[in-house]
């Protein structure tokens, strides 16, 4: 039982870290100059900080899953919306 609890907490910790790591790698890849050359130093840090702030402020698919009256979607409508939204995000 103790091992199962440890494993569950490890899986939870990893699942919380992965989206942040993914966002950081995306932002780092986007840190390029107008010439297409990778940024370095303070310019790179500022670019990554701005990118991560924008990513955190952007509404997620779950936040946007509402009908025309502002009520949250449920069931098949929500599943369909989430699938479409996540496909567009990639």
**How is residue 41 written in tokens?**
């130093």
**Quick check: is 4 in a domain?**
no
Residue 28 shares a structural domain with residue 41: yes
Question: What residues make up the domain containing 83?
Answer: 59-90
Angle between helical axes of 41-57 and 2-30 (0-180°, round to 10): 120
Calculate mean pLDDT across residues 74-87. 93
Q: Can you give the pTM of this predicted structure?
A: 0.48
Does residue 31 sit within a domain?
Answer: yes
Residues 26 and 53 in one domain: yes
pLDDT per position as a tens digit, 22-77: 455 789 999 999 999 999 999 999 999 999 998 888 888 888 999 999 999 999 99
Using alpha carbons, select from 18, 15, 16, 40 the residue that is nearest to residue 28: 40
pLDDT band for position 89 (cuts 50, 70, 90): confident
Residue 5 or 69, more confident: 69
| 15 inside domain | no
**Structural domains of the chain, count:** 2
Q: Are residues 70 and 88 in the same domain?
A: yes
Could you tell me if 69 and 84 lie in one domain?
A: yes
Same domain, 51 and 72: no
Range in 8-17, 23-32, 81-90 with the lowest mean pLDDT: 8-17
What are 38's strand-pairing partners? 32
User: Are both 64 and 90 inside the same structural domain?
Assistant: yes
Can you tell me the distance from the alpha carbon of 63 to that of 66, in angstroms, rounded to the nearest whole number?
8
């Amino acid at each position: 039982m103790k091992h199962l609890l440890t494993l569950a907490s490890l899986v939870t910790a990893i699942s919380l870290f992965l989206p942040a790591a993914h966002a950081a790698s995306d932002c780092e890849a986007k840190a390029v100059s107008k010439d297409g050359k990778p940024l370095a130093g303070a310019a790179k840090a500022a670019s990554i900080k701005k990118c991560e702030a924008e990513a955190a402020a952007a509404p997620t698919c779950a936040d946007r899953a509402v009908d025309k009256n502002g009520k949250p979607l449920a069931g098949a409508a929500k599943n369909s919306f989430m699938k479409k939204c996540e496909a567009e995000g990639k």
